[in-house]
């Protein structure tokens, strides 16, 4: 039932953004540094949400664009209607992930976010070596960045052992349990 609800309605209910306010001027796309690399440019994505069809919603949730968005906020800063596109992107990512719709090509991005958050969950802070290791395991991109890692190590930019919070991150683990990992 819940999943059949149109994305535009979910966005209005969950984060209070009304997609019908967009009048398709395209200023968001014009100013977006990654628009040329997106499968669906920001203003086009807004149009798809406005149509409110199942097909359009599926296309949005399965797009790479929502994962490419850098949240640089250029779009909302210049939007004449002040539509919070970064908030829309954030929420679409959450819906895409929880609904199992993540685009194949966006998996490395999701993998990175997951690895990052895993580090935070277990240590309370990020730990680059662990992060990269986990990310490589998730994506099997084993050779990536092997060229700069030793340099970074030599320049003292990488910690060998993770920094941890006083209780080994239990407090932070609890935050995860109560938010992103919550089962309800």
What is the nearest approach in angstroms of another protein to the Cβ of residue 38?
9
Query: Can you tell me which of 17, 19, 44, 61 binds another protein, judged by CB under 8 A?
Result: 44
19 makes contact with another protein (CB under 8 A): no
Judged by CB, which is closer to another protein: 6, or 126? Answer: 126
Query: Can you tell me which of 58, 59, 103, 159 binds another protein, judged by CB under 8 A?
Result: 159
90 makes contact with another protein (CB under 8 A): yes
74 makes contact with another protein (CB under 8 A): yes
Helix, strand and coil in the chain, % to nearest 5: 60, 0, 40
Query: Can you tell me which of 76, 101, 103, 133 binds another protein, judged by CB under 8 A?
Result: 76
What is the nearest approach in angstroms of another protein to the Cβ of residue 149?
10
Spatial contact of 112 and 105, defined as CB atoms under 8 Å apart: no
What is d(CA 142, CA 126) in angstroms, rounded to the nearest whole number? 20
Spatial contact of 180 and 117, defined as CB atoms under 8 Å apart: yes
137 makes contact with another protein (CB under 8 A): no
Tell me, by CB under 8 A, how many residues bind another protein.
Answer: 81
91 makes contact with another protein (CB under 8 A): yes
Query: Can you tell me which of 9, 18, 20, 34 binds another protein, judged by CB under 8 A?
Result: 34
Residue 161 — φ and ψ, nearest 5°?
-110, 145
Cα 93 from chain centre: 5
At a CB cut-off of 8 Å and minimum separation 6, what does 158 contact? 128, 129, 149, 152
What is d(CA 184, CA 1) in angstroms, rounded to the nearest whole number? 16
Residues 47-66 that bind another protein (CB under 8 A): 47
145 makes contact with another protein (CB under 8 A): yes
């Amino acid at each position: 039932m819940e999943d059949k609800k149109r994305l535009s309605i979910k966005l209005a209910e969950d984060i209070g953004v009304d997609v019908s306010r967009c009048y398709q001027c395209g200023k968001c796309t014009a100013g977006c540094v990654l628009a040329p690399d997106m499968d669906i440019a920001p203003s086009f994505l807004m149009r798809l949400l406005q149509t409110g069809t199942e097909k359009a919603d599926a296309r949005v949730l399965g797009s790479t664009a929502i994962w490419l968005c850098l949240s640089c906020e250029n779009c909302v800063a210049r939007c004449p209607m002040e539509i919070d596109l970064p908030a829309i992107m954030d929420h679409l990512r959450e819906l895409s992930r929880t609904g199992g719709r993540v685009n194949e090509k966006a998996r490395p991005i999701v993998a990175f976010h997951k690895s990052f958050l895993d580090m935070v969950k277990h240590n309370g802070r990020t730990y680059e070596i662990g992060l990269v290791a986990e990310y490589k395991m998730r994506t099997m991109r084993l050779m990536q960045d092997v060229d700069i890692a030793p340099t970074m190590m030599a320049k003292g930019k990488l910690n060998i052992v993770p920094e941890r919070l006083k209780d080994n991150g239990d407090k932070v683990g609890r935050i995860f349990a109560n938010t992103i990992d919550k089962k309800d």
